[in-house]
A and B are shown apart, each in its own frame.
Chain A
Amino acid sequence: MDHLDELENQSIFILREAYKKFKDLAMLWSIGKDSTVLLWLARKAFFSHVPFPLVHIDTSYKIPAMIEYRDHYAKEWGLNLVVGQNKKALDEGMNHEKGRMVCCEALKTQGLSVIMEEKGYTGLILGIRRDEEGTRAKERYFSPRDKNFEWNFKDQPPELWDQFKTTFAEGTHIRIHPLLHWTELNVWEYIHREKIPIIDLYFADENNKRYRSLGCQPCTFPIDSSAKSVPEIIEELKGIGTAERSGRAQDQENTYAMQKLRARGYM
């Protein structure tokens, strides 16, 4: 067993716990590399089946290729795709010029909140990782959110010996993070080993630009890179010295931007 097998086994265990413990369970699929790896792991855990819906929060500002990719694989892999959108905010003209944090909160956090309430999900699987940024480093595999969608990071449940928090009060929900212990490099190594089809926005274009992290078109910027294949990305990551989310504008807004966004329910 190598280190990728170890990561895979742990993630499968968590996915199966989530499936057993939550009747109203959904997985968030952002079309990015992490949630696509998560989707792949679900197919491993459930022997090619994906026994819960996949929720995509469409802010309407996503890069168009992402929607194409989403619809293609949703069909090919027989997925139950649920698209959520905060139409009210969009009708009222919400966009990033009103402030990035305001926009993220309205279109992503609220967009998610609306669909969760509509569908009555009590468990939500997400592909966040501890190495992405500081507040995610403090997350749990099973992380409770209160009635207002808020994360109380000062009072988190203990997690030991893979016994997770699976009981919760009425009106609250649990976020499940099966990829928490993976690193960005692990994700790419796994994509390479498993030959997972990944959206080509991650690969360098003719101008030697590629996306390292995907989000909305106005707030996500490609990096300079000549990596055109998965092995080239892996090589590049081993020598790189900048943070993965450095191309994501909302993280850089102010000192504790991500903490504030996440405490209020951001992914």
Chain B
Amino acid sequence: MSDNGNAVALDSKLMRLVIVGHVDHGKSTLVGRLMSDTGSLPTGKIDFVKDICEKQGKVFEFAFLLDALEEEQEQGITIDTSQIFFNTKKRPYVIIDAPGHKEFLKNMVTGAANAEGALLLIDAFEGVQEQSRRHGYILKLLGLTQVAVVINKMDLIDYDPEKYYQIKTEYTEFLKSLGVEARVFLPVSAKLGENIATRSDSMSWYTGPTVLEVLDQFEKKAAKVHLPFRFPIQDVYKFDERRIMAGRVESGNLKVGDKLLFSPSNKTAVVKTIEAWSVSEQPTEAIATESIGFTLTEQLFLERGDVASRVGDEPPITSSTFDANLFWMGKNHLEKGKSYTLKLTTQEVPCEVLEFKKIIDASTLETLSSRDYVVKNDVTELTLRAHRPVVFDQFGTIPETGRFVLVDEYDVCGGGIITTYVPATQRDKLIEEVRHRDFNWVSSNITAEQRAYRNGHRAALILFTGKAGVGKAKLACLLEEKIFQNNFQSYLLDGHNVRLGVGADIDNEEYFSDGEAVRRYGEVAKLFLDAGHVVISTSNIFNQQEHSDIRVLVEPCPVVEILVTSTPPQKQTSDMVLTLEEAANEKETIGKIYDFLKEQKILTGHNYSI
């Protein structure tokens, strides 16, 4: 459907638009009209559709030009987002026709999230409706601020300016309460083609732009090159002798020779090359929105989810809790205490809702104070807690690294933007402390990667967890022995031993309050890990929360948690779960754990290069 007669300059960039609004307010008709009036339809397309209409005994409508699915034409409503290409004299457009039925909000969101400008349609006869408001709210949440409000079907109200101004005032008030200012309002009849491509004689009282003129005034989103550099690692490739960090520059720019900080591991390294295939010369810099790959002057353990920034720039925030505004599209309610997957840039972490601050009906902006769950199509202000620290910015600072989705089971069910972050929790203080430690650490000439190469394994912490008496201690001893006998460096570090020596200066009460025990244990473990060992621990003195703190302290070393229990938990947060029978069957189980460590690429074998 892109084929048309308007030749457009080769370098003119595509403008992505979305058309939203209440069901039946004329979105598909407007798109059909735009295609037709800009000469963007293939020859014979209108006749082809007219022919079908005649055969099926229907009156021709412009909407039929894009309602491609049989069901859509039968029901007369758009079910899914459709993308249609057309050109004006200025530039090419792709217009995303989003369904206006409440049931199809996720399709509308799909369309709007990918757009740079929006037309919001309101039926002049019906006035402002439920979805007119909901869609306005969602556009704001998606950060889409380039919005024109199109008041359609003016022919149905005899082009009455009074009615038009009434709707304009009502909707302006609504937008104001959201903190949004609409760029322009305009009265049209999409069906009759009035004020679409050409001005209408029936509305001489309106002197503003036509729809096409408004579209041509929309501005392309500028690449965020002036912002701090952010590069979430998408993957690490080692197809040949190069070890390439692959990903997309989300903001800022990168040059060969830049010194980068990787979060949350707080490692630093210098960019050696920017790699590319089939280019006339190898690039030396890259800017926001480019999918690139680079190599570093030293080999670090980095993986998908780590975020690079430039040393000297404001670093991204690392935290496991943050506040966000979120819209929910899931069939199931969003509830406290349930585990969801947080997808933020290339990070994927289990998370849960800590608190609902406000639950809002997006069609009325009414606060639903009696509820403690969020239903489909509603909006909420909430606090989320991830199971381990994530790296992000506030949406207002860098949108690309300040937005996320929530996955419930297999499906993306919510989308949100990070509004505020206050380093209030003990965990946040710990993260700050660790960052300070890592920055000021006096490092030896031998890197962790060199130690791993020599030892045949990465440094890692293996934590046996579970109630007292389930056989953890015995397993830990046997695992240490098994690893040792295979020529690897292993060390059994019991929390009790740390208490006896490193904790001898304070009494029990002080030792086990304010996270002191965790801090001391974690710091001792960190030293053994820095020396390259596989540290094995069994301890009853730490709870779930404290295990997460230990992860923060030993970052970026992998932590493998092995839970021994008679009742396997509903939501699995540990890496491996053993039943009591398995724990009793020591020989086989140790073999199983050993294989798991190989699978996890912790025990890599000697002379394995990362």
Residues of A within 8 A of B (CB): 1-3, 5-6, 8-10, 12-13, 16-17, 19-20, 40, 43-49, 51, 130-131, 133-135, 137-138, 140, 153-154, 156-161, 163, 165, 167-169, 181, 183-185, 189, 194, 237-244, 246, 255-256, 259
Contacts A/B (CB < 8 Å), 10 sampled: A16-B247, A44-B278, A133-B1, A134-B66, A138-B82, A159-B110, A184-B3, A239-B7, A241-B5, A243-B1
With A16-B291, A138-B81 as contacts: A241 and B42 at CB distance below 8 Å: yes
Residues of chain B from 396 to 421 with CB closer than 8 A to chain A in the complex: 400, 403-405, 407, 409-412, 415
Which residues in B have some Cβ–Cβ distance to A below 8 Å? 1-5, 7-8, 10-14, 42-45, 52, 66, 68-71, 79-85, 94, 106-107, 109-110, 113-114, 142, 223, 234-235, 237, 239-240, 242, 244, 246-248, 275-278, 287, 289-291, 293, 304, 329, 341, 343, 400, 403-405, 407, 409-412, 415
Contact B82 A158 (CB under 8 A): no
Q: Are A158 and B412 in contact (CB under 8 A)?
A: yes
Choose from B68, B403, B409 the contact partner of A138 (Cβ within 8 Å): B68
Beta-carbon contact of A138 and B410 below 8 Å: no
Q: Is the CB of A256 within 8 A of B107?
A: no
The chain A residue with its CB closest to the CB of B234 is: A16
Q: Which residues of A contact B14 (CB under 8 A)?
A: 3, 6
**Beta-carbon nearest neighbor of A140 in chain B:** B110
On whether the beta carbons of A2 and B405 are closer than 8 Å, the reply is no
Name the CB-closest residue of A to B344. A163
B83 x A169 contact (CB < 8 A): no
**Docked CA distance A17–B114 (Å):** 18
Partner of B2, one of A161, A185, A256: A185
Residues of B within 8 A of A154 (CB): 69, 71, 79-80
Task: State whether B70 touches A160 (Cβ < 8 A).
Answer: no
Inter-chain contacts of B84 with A (CB < 8 A): 137
Q: Is the CB of A47 within 8 A of B85?
A: no
**16 more A-B residue pairs beyond the given contacts A49-B239, A137-B1, A161-B405, with a C-beta to C-beta distance below 8 A:** A1-B290, A13-B234, A13-B248, A20-B234, A47-B240, A48-B239, A131-B1, A133-B1, A135-B69, A153-B79, A160-B109, A184-B3, A241-B5, A241-B42, A242-B42, A242-B43
Q: How far is the CA of A40 from the CA of B278 in the complex (A)?
A: 10
Residue of A nearest to B13 (CB): A3
Question: A240 is contacted by which of B3, B106, B234, B415 (Cβ under 8 Å)?
Answer: B3
Tell me if B43 and A6 are in contact (CB < 8 A): no
Q: A2 — which chain B residues lie within 8 A by C-beta?
A: 10-11, 13
Which residue of chain B lies nearest to A260 when distances are taken between CB atoms in the complex?
B70
Once the chains are docked, how many angstroms separate the CA of A240 from the CA of B6? 10
Of B10, B113, B287, which is within 8 A of A1 by CB? B287
Q: How far is the CA of A220 from the CA of B410 in the complex (A)?
A: 40
Q: Which residues of chain A have C-beta atoms less than 8 A from B85's C-beta?
A: 130-131, 183
Given A20-B234, A243-B42, A3-B109 contact (CB < 8 Å): no
Give CA–CA (A158, B99) in the complex, Å: 13
Docked-complex contact B289 and A161, CB < 8 angstroms = no
Whole-angstrom distance between the alpha carbons of A97 and B405 in the complex?
Answer: 49
Nearest-CB distance from B249 to chain A (Å)? Answer: 9
- Residues of A within 8 Å of B407, CB to CB, are 167
A164's nearest neighbour on chain B, judged by CB, is B412
Interface-central residue, A45, A194, A237, A246, by most chain B CB under 10 Å: A45
B69, B242, B329, B412 — most chain A CB neighbours (10 Å): B412
CB <8 Å contact, B235 and A16:
yes
Q: Across the interface, which residues of A come within 8 angstroms of B10, CB to CB?
A: 2-3, 189
Give, as a whole number of angstroms, the nearest-CB distance from A145 to chain B. 13
Q: How far is the CA of A16 from the CA of B14 in the complex (A)?
A: 23
Chain B hits for A244, CB < 8 A: 3
Cross-interface CB contact of B405 among A51, A160, A242, cutoff 8 Å: A160
A181 to B234, CA, bound (A): 21
- Minimum distance in angstroms from B548 CB to a CB of chain A: 24
Distance between Cα atoms of A2 and B223 in the complex (Å): 12
A72 CB to nearest B CB, Å: 19
Chain B residue with Cβ nearest A256: B70
Docked complex Cα distance between A244 and B2 (Å): 9
Q: Give, as a whole number of angstroms, the nearest-CB distance from B212 to chain A.
A: 20
- The reply to whether B12 and A157 contact each other, CB–CB distance below 8 Å, is no
Give the distance in Å from the alpha carbon of A169 to the alpha carbon of B411 in the complex: 10
CB distance from B351 to the nearest CB of A (A): 14
What 4 A-B pairs come out closest when comparing CB atoms?
A134-B68, A160-B113, A158-B106, A241-B43
Across the interface, do B71 and A47 meet the contact criterion of CB distance under 8 Å? no
Q: Is the CB of B405 within 8 A of A163?
A: yes
CA distance A193 to B412 in the complex (A): 37
Contact partners of A241 in chain B: CB under 8 A: 3-5, 42-43
Rounded to whole Å, the gap between the CB of B394 and the closest CB of chain A is 15
One of B80, B341, B410 near A168 (C-beta < 8 A): B410
Residue in contact with B3 in the complex, picked from A10, A48, A51, A243, CB distance below 8 Å: A243
Q: Are B237 and A184 in contact (CB-based, < 8 A)?
A: no
Q: Report yes or no: B68 in contact with A161, Cβ–Cβ below 8 A.
A: no
Q: Which residue of B lies closest to A192 (CB)?
A: B10
Task: Pick the contact of B412: A3, A44, A163, A168 (CB < 8 A).
Answer: A163
Which chain B residues border A159 with CB–CB below 8 Å? 110, 113-114, 412
Q: Is the CB–CB distance between A44 and B114 below 8 Å?
A: no
Would you call B235 and A157 a contact (CB within 8 A)? no
Among A5, A51, A237, A238, find the residue whose CB has the most chain B CB atoms closer than 10 A. A238
| Contact with B403, one of A19, A47, A161, A259 (Cβ below 8 angstroms) | A161
Q: For residue B43, which residues in chain A have a CB less than 8 angstroms away from its CB?
A: 241-242
Residue of A nearest to B78 (CB): A138
Q: How far is the CB of B411 from chain A (nearest CB, A)?
A: 6
CB-defined contacts of B66 to chain A, threshold 8 Å: 134, 137
Which chain A residue has the least Cβ–Cβ distance from B409? A167
Q: Which of B3, B114, B276, B405 contacts A237 (CB 8 A)?
A: B3
